[in-house]
Amino acid sequence: MQVLITGGAGFIGSHLVDLLMEKGYKVRVIDNLSYGRLENLKKWLDDRNLEFIKGDLRDISKLSEAMKGVDIVYHLAANPEVRLGEQDPRNIFELNVLITYNVLEAMKANNVKYLAYASSSTVYGEAKVMPTPEDYSPLEPISVYGGAKLASEATISGFVHTFHLSATIFRLANIVGSRSRHGVIYDFIRKLRANSKKLEILGDGTQKKSYLHISDTVEAMYYLTEDTIRRGVEYEVYNIGSEDNITVIDIAKIVSEEMGLSPEIYTTGGVDGGRGWRGDVKYMLLDIKKAKSKGWSPKINTSEGAVKRAVKELLDEVS
């Protein structure tokens, strides 16, 4: 099986490369290295089952070339910075919706049938049901990023049903672990390395969300995509997260403790009722019963466990 991973030099993508290479797949990566790093793939760069293409998904001819002979596409390339949506919404639109459309068009042109897509819990906006199941409605994202992820899902659904493709959509919680270069844990470690006496929290610190370790995330993406293909289903949507959630203040305490520090932890107070930034969802917990019913479940099943493991991993990597 030939797999194409877009954004495969990034955080989640490179861990997926590791898993699929270990399973014996032929893996091709296309990444423009805007955020991703070749170093994330260094274990495989001399392996003939890995092919790396430096290319931008806005370049349709490059993308079409990357699609040749591919059986399954894992589409992860994006700008994943939710916060950026306020300053540069066009960037978020192009690097989420537009490139997803390009991927679909290139799949159709090259007769590639199977797609797995990294969507996000942000499509739910401020859900009134917790834990939130996949069939929750109305889907009303509160960030440009969440809107772009939902628009991508809808575009994929339209293509799948019109052109008889098959897609598995993953609405991911906050994913943490080694090689991550954005998000709250990375931010806290960098801040504490710069000043070990004080730690600033964006927002009022009571934001409470679900965190999942990267090892469980890529297992879910691999296992459930294969399951969709095996069952011959056209379109499946899965929530992927851990079984509980944790506040930002508790994460700040865990990071400080793991670093052997006791900084003064203070909050900025935030915007719009304590959010870290406009569009920051305050409470998120995904109902993962559907994924569990298919045989996947997180091995690190608490947010605290995932965060602790991620802090240990990142402390070795972040200067």
State yes or no: residue 124 binds ligand NAD (CB under 6 A). no
Closer to ligand NAD by Cβ: residue 120 or 267: 120
Beta bridge partners, 116, equal 74, 168
Told to check if 10 binds ligand NAD by CB under 6 A, we report yes
* Binding track over 18-57 against ligand NAD, x by CB under 6 A: -------------xxxxxx-------------------xx
Q: For residues 165 and 184, which CB has a smaller minimum distance to ligand NAD in the complex? A: 184
Q: How far is the CB of 180 from ligand NAD (least distance, A)?
A: 7
Give the whole-angstrom CA distance, residue 82 versus residue 102. 22
Query: Hey, what are 32's tokens?
Result: 């423009």
313 binds ligand NAD (CB under 6 A): no
Burial (Cβ within 10 Å: 0-12, 13-18, ≥19) of residue 45: exposed
Residues 60-99 that bind ligand NAD (CB under 6 A): 76-78, 80, 95, 99
* Beta carbons of 279 and 85 less than 8 angstroms apart: yes
9 binds ligand NAD (CB under 6 A): yes
Shortest distance (Å) from residue 262 CB to ligand NAD: 28
| Footprint on residues 266-305 left by ligand NAD (CB under 6 A) | none
Based on CB atoms, which residue is closest to ligand NAD, 263 or 305? 305
How far apart are CB 264 and ligand NAD at their closest, in Å? 28
Shortest CB 277 distance to ligand NAD, Å: 15
Q: How far apart are CA 87 and CA 189, in angstroms?
A: 25
Cα 278 to chain centroid distance, Å, stands at: 20
Quote the least distance from Cβ 143 to ligand NAD, whole Å.
11
12 vs 263, which CB is nearer to ligand NAD?
Answer: 12
Determine which one of 35, 74, 136, 145 is catalytic. Answer: 145
Write out 219-244 in H/E/C secondary structure. Answer: HHHHHHHHHHHHHCCCEEEEEECCCC
CB neighbour list of residue 42: distance below 8 Å, 6 or more residues apart: none
Phi, psi of 170 (to 5 degrees): -115, 110
Q: C-beta of 92: minimal distance to ligand NAD in Å?
A: 10
Determine the interface stretch with ligand NAD among 9-17, 43-51, 231-239, 307-315 (rule: CB under 6 A).
Answer: 9-17
What residue spans of the chain are helical by DSSP H? 11-22, 60-67, 89-93, 99-109, 144-163, 184-194, 214-231, 248-258, 289-293, 303-315
Chain centroid, CA 263 distance in Å: 30
Tell me if residue 145 is catalytic.
Answer: yes
Total chain residues near ligand NAD (CB under 6 A)? 27
| Of 247, 85, 70, 108, residue with least CA distance to 174 | 247
Site for ligand NAD in 153-182 (CB under 6 A): 172, 174-175
Length of the chain: 319
Who contacts 214 (Cβ-Cβ below 8 Å, separation ≥6)?
Answer: 11, 12, 15, 175, 176, 177, 178, 179, 180, 310
Span of 6-14, 135-143, 159-167, 224-232 interacting with ligand NAD by CB under 6 A = 6-14
- Annotated active-site positions, please? 145
Which stretches of the chain bind ligand NAD, using CB under 6 A?
A: 7, 9-13, 31-36, 56-58, 76-78, 80, 95, 99, 118, 120, 172, 174-175, 183
